Structure 1
Amino acid sequence: MDAELFPRSRAEIAPGAVHVPGWLDADDQRRLLEACRDWAGPPAGLRTVRTPGGGTMTARQVCLGWHWYPYAYARTVVDGDGAPVKPFPEWLGELGRRAVADALGAEAATAPYDIALINFYDGDARMGMHRDSDEKSDAPVVSLSLGDTCVFRFGNTESRSRPYTDVELRSGDLFVFGNASRLAYHGVPKVYPQTAPQGLGLTGRLNVTLRVSGFEETSPSGV
């Protein structure tokens, strides 16, 4: 909503985990959405992720820089059309570094970001509790939200169960987690359909997650 009785403010959800509401303005959101639409097209476009046990993730995904599949990285879409992964743009890396500086301070500057995982959620999609642990770098994870509001569940580093904190993420919100919270379990138990800003032109939710791989450039995969 445009006016709120209690405006949202930035909050440290856990040590090293910071929520910054409204970090992307309306123009920035539209530009990022248009880029996501380009990246989602084939080849190496939006796909359904299948787990080793035969299940499927309800959120669909496209990757940039390195292609993630459960539970490793490759330079090609090994679990899809086999095409080379789309390149990671320099401007997106600069956005990630600025996000870390704004959320955690300039001293938290990291090596260049080189991975983006872009997840699309329709109204029924969810994401189970998991850790972002397939990278070799411990640089902070940057999460940007577009479209529908969701419940983002941010947990602890030991298990998928409590204690955790539920945070409402809206379009334009930034969430950064690093340091002691870098390997915290997190997930999306609920998306609220038809809550995207009317002027954005998006039905559903997009989450753009930026990571630093720490991989050697010559390595064919992250393992």
Structure 2
Amino acid sequence: MSEAVLQASGLSVVHRTPAGDVHALSDATLEVHAGEFVVLIGPSGAGKTTLLHVLGGIQPPTTGTVRIGDVVLTEAPERDVDRVRRDDIGYVFQSFGLISALSAEENVELPLRIRRADPGERAERVAQLLERVGLADHAKQRPTELSGGQQQRVGIARALAGSPRILLADEPTGQLDSHTAASMIELIASIARDDGVAVLLSTHDPSIRSRADRVLELHDGVLREGAVHAVASP
């Protein structure tokens, strides 16, 4: 089996409220390997976004550890967490998360500017990525001039700009019609298959599980392995 680039153990997230503790995650343990397409499935409110935020170093867990490569995010100083988020993790949002004042190519270029990449290298990388996601002819258009599916493709290209080892995709098809969603899943699956990226994609859509190498199910904060193909009821 390929290298486990993302490992998490005993993750719990507890929110203290006047009415009592709310367990958004309860003792979740998982790993994702290079080139693996893992689908995290569960209903809205199950804790999927919380789990991805913890894995991506956006939110600390109440207990547990997250390791990416040689770095334990939950124990590392902030500068190391920032470096891992910048260099090793790509994040795709359900709401696209594009900057409306920037063109498609400028949105994709943004992570490379933050990394102070050479301008020539930036331009070449952006062109390659827009070609990869099928938007080479839309480089100069702003998000408001693009369809929802095109905006999400820009978001994927931006997430890949820094050549991450891990791609975390949070309900990336949630705002798309079924045909556009299917093409988006094929694109994301190809990123794992062809680029060797470890992909973890969350969804509430059970039809996506058939595209996965492995399925994880999350219900009320409890994570468990799920079947890749849905089993019909007798």
> What is the TM-score of this pair, normalised by structure 1?
0.29
Higher helix share: 2
Alignment TM-score, normalising by the size of structure 2: 0.29
Q: Which structure would you say has the larger RCO, counting Cα contacts within 8 Å and 6 or more residues apart?
A: 2
The structure with more radius of gyration: 2
